[in-house]
């Protein structure tokens, strides 16, 4: 069970940065560090953002859900 189970998300829902911060508990800076290959915090398994417009991005809720599930599975 993860954070998305307590929320109502549709299968192909796009999350904005504020929703992503709320669901993951990560800061904006940490999220962008996870996405930056030059960062020491880079995580290739973290879902890539998608471009919605020229200045808006989002993340696929289902991909974030899978990422959270994989982190839960790694804690053993």
pTM of the predicted structure, to 2 decimals: 0.81
* pLDDT tens digit sequence for 28-45: 999 999 999 999 999 999
Mean pLDDT over the full length of the chain: 89
pLDDT at residue 2 in the model: 52
pLDDT greater than 80 at residue 7: no
With tokens 């829902």, the residue in question is 13
Which domains does the chain show, CATH number per domain?
Answer: 3-74 (1.10.1660)
pLDDT greater than 50 at residue 1: no
Q: Model confidence at 9, in pLDDT bands (50, 70, 90)?
A: low
What element of type H or E holds 65? helix 61-74
């Amino acid at each position: 069970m993860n954070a998305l189970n307590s929320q109502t998300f549709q299968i192909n829902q796009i999350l904005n940065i504020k929703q992503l911060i709320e669901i993951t508990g990560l800061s904006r800076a940490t999220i962008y560090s996870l996405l930056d290959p030059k960062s020491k915090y880079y995580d290739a398994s973290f879902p890539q953002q998608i471009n919605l417009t020229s200045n808006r991005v989002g993340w696929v809720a289902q991909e974030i859900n899978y990422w959270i599930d994989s982190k839960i599975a790694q804690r053993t």
